Chains A and B, each alone.
Chain A
Amino acid sequence: MSTEKIKDARRMVHWPGHMETDYIYTLGIAGEKFFTEMKNSGRIFAAKCKRCGFIYLPPRIYCERCFEKLTEWINVGTKGEVFTYTVAYVDVDSSKLKEPTIYAYIKFDGAHGGLIHKLGEVKHEDVQIGMPVEAVFKPLAERKANINDIKYFKPV
């Protein structure tokens, strides 16, 4: 069988194909509540399971652990801490980013879990696991009920 180490697939006898399809995704019942609150009032909500006490962030309408329907919403504030982070130097197709971007898993007090987002107003050398951070929202007029209504999290 062939074993050539060809780096560029275009050098092979080939047919160039394309699989793109576009989608309009609904946010879902929990997502719409979460992002509407974020857009309108800059508040971050989690959902609590009455049966087992687990507090879901991001919120859901059901408990994946005991399958209870979740109806209790909890405002968890806009602050959390850096649970872990990375400094990304490459893009989605593995090409070099112009500026490295810091992404972090931000754990919220008062919830089990948190959000993945960017960090801003901080140099990557200065980021530490455990560092307290808070959400910086876009101006009200620019918010669109999606995760990027939060511009980034910054140190507090």
Chain B
Amino acid sequence: MVGKKRVAVIGAGMTKFRRNLKETGKELSYEASKMALDQAGLELSDIKSVVMGTAPDAFDGVHMKGEYLADGAGAWEKPYSRVFVGGGTGVFAVDAGWWHVASGKFDTCLVVGEEKMSSCYPHPAYAFTTIFDQIYSRPLGVTLIWIFALEMHRYMHVHGITKEEIALVSVKNKRNALDHPCAQLGANITVEDVLNSEVLCWPVQRLDISPTSDGAAALVLASEDVAKKLTDDPVWIDGVGWCIDSTYWTNRDLYYPQYVQCAAQMAYKMAGIKNPPKEIDVAEVYDPFDYKELHHMEGLMLARKGQAAKLTAEGVTQRDGDLPINPSGGLLGVGNPIAAAGTMKCCEIFWQLRGEAGKRQVKGDPRTGLAQAWGDLMQYGSVVVMRS
């Protein structure tokens, strides 16, 4: 076993994901944390450490927002830290929560992911402009979307993948989200709807992208001895992994996310997983753009390079398919409050492995699940493998 203690997830919670929620980031953090504590059957006083995952300060518009959010995340007079790896934060926060407990230092850890993006006016896209290199990129007027567009185009070019094939991901995830009570953008749309939506930066169109969202999600982690006292159905964190690649776009092979592969290998090795597509029953793969679900399935070795689109077209990744991907509805359907979205994916895997996902429950009796997020300057991967 890696770590001194085996670590379980014993409770999860999340707010609705919406644009322009009235709640402040603190209030959102509180709602999600309280729900997770209630499911775990714990009081705040039972929580021995807190990890907050929240992405660039510019989104909430509060400099040092880790400190700002602390009380909403239940951190009063507790060991508290904020972790931050851009879009990878929401899953990495769970990795960080794992080591708090696995080290033997704390019996419990509350992990909270939060983002309130709609405060940035007139559009949060502007908050992204200062994340880029100030010497080589920003003087060109770089935007988040055209950087993704460069990567998507390279991925399509190398494998000969079409826009139609990629649009199927958006169709699937928005439909899955119809069954999620917290979802922002559940909808029945068609491939044509995606292809006819506004072109933002070719090949990226409006319906290829997740929305601007506010929200929070939380998990309660506990050591094995504590977990077994509280629940008959702990979900174990059996693998964690994270990795960063070069921050220079032009020093990376954009068609393949090597950093996701490295993070996945780290988690698979720890969990003893040798054949990921066979051994993973359900996965929440980071999908801020539709092509990213395919790109990440390949990085996670759930599909061979260039084959994820084929699996999608064959229905393998549908909720009732052999390898359900994003049964929650993902970022494209549930919404994308950055760090909260990654943590939401961990919540979904927890609920799926406990058989508590309601209308979203995948078929069979899933025993092994994976959540993954990706971020920083599009070169960071974070992975969690859970087992029931």
Contact = CB atoms under 8 A, between A and B. Distances in A.
Co-complex (A, B): yes
B141 interface: yes
A104 B151 CA distance: 10
A5 B250 contact: no
Contact of B136 (A10, A58, A91): A58
Given A12-B22, A147-B140, A92 B129 contact: yes
Contact of B16 (A3, A6, A116): A3
B20 interface: yes
B16 A1 contact: yes
B139 A146 contact: yes
B143 A9 contact: no
Interface of B: 15-16, 18-23, 31, 58, 61, 63, 118-119, 121-123, 125-126, 129, 134-137, 139-143, 145-146, 149-151, 153-154, 157, 198-204, 246, 248-251, 254
Contacts of B146: 86, 88, 103
Nearest to B245: A64
A87 B136 CA distance: 19
B150 A86 contact: yes
A104 B254 CA distance: 13
Nearest to B18: A3
A4 interface: yes
B149 A116 contact: no
Contact of B18 (A5, A17, A107): A5
Given A5-B19, A90-B143, A84 B201 contact: no
B201 A89 contact: yes
Given A88-B146, A129-B157, A147 B250 contact: no
A113 interface: yes
Contacts, number: 143
Interface residues of A, number: 53
B135 A118 contact: no
A85 interface: yes
A47 to B, nearest CB: 12
Contact of A84 (B16, B19, B31, B157): B157
B122 A31 contact: no
Interface in A7-27: 7, 9-10, 12-13, 16-17, 19, 23, 25, 27
A6 B184 CA distance: 12
B250 A58 contact: yes
A85 B150 contact: yes
Contacts of B198: 89
Contacts of A12: 20, 22
A2 interface: yes
A27 B248 CA distance: 16
B74 to A, nearest CB: 18
Contacts of B19: 5-7
Contacts of A4: 18, 20, 22
14 contacts: A3-B16, A6-B20, A12-B20, A58-B250, A84-B150, A87-B199, A89-B198, A89-B202, A90-B201, A94-B123, A103-B146, A116-B249, A116-B250, A147-B140
A147 B136 contact: yes
A76 to B, nearest CB: 12
B135 A9 contact: no
A18 to B, nearest CB: 9
Interface in A24-82: 25, 27-28, 31, 56-58, 64
B61 A17 contact: yes
Question: By CB atoms of chain A within 10 A, which of B122, B151, B248, B250 has the most?
Answer: B250
Contacts of B248: 56, 58, 113
A147 B5 CA distance: 51
A103 B140 contact: yes
A3 B19 CA distance: 9
Nearest to A90: B200
A43 to B, nearest CB: 17
Contacts of B137: 116
- Nearest first, the 3 closest Cβ-Cβ pairs linking A and B are A86-B149, A84-B154, A113-B250
A101 B140 CA distance: 11
A88 B31 contact: no
A88 B142 CA distance: 10
A116 B136 contact: yes
Nearest to B27: A1
Given A9-B119, A89-B200, A105-B249, A19 B63 contact: yes
Given A85-B150, A88-B200, A93-B125, 13 more contacts: A7-B19, A12-B22, A58-B136, A84-B154, A86-B146, A86-B201, A86-B203, A88-B143, A93-B122, A94-B126, A107-B250, A113-B248, A117-B140
A53 B338 CA distance: 38
A17 B134 CA distance: 24
B153 A85 contact: yes
Contacts of A90: 125, 143, 145, 200-201
B383 to A, nearest CB: 22
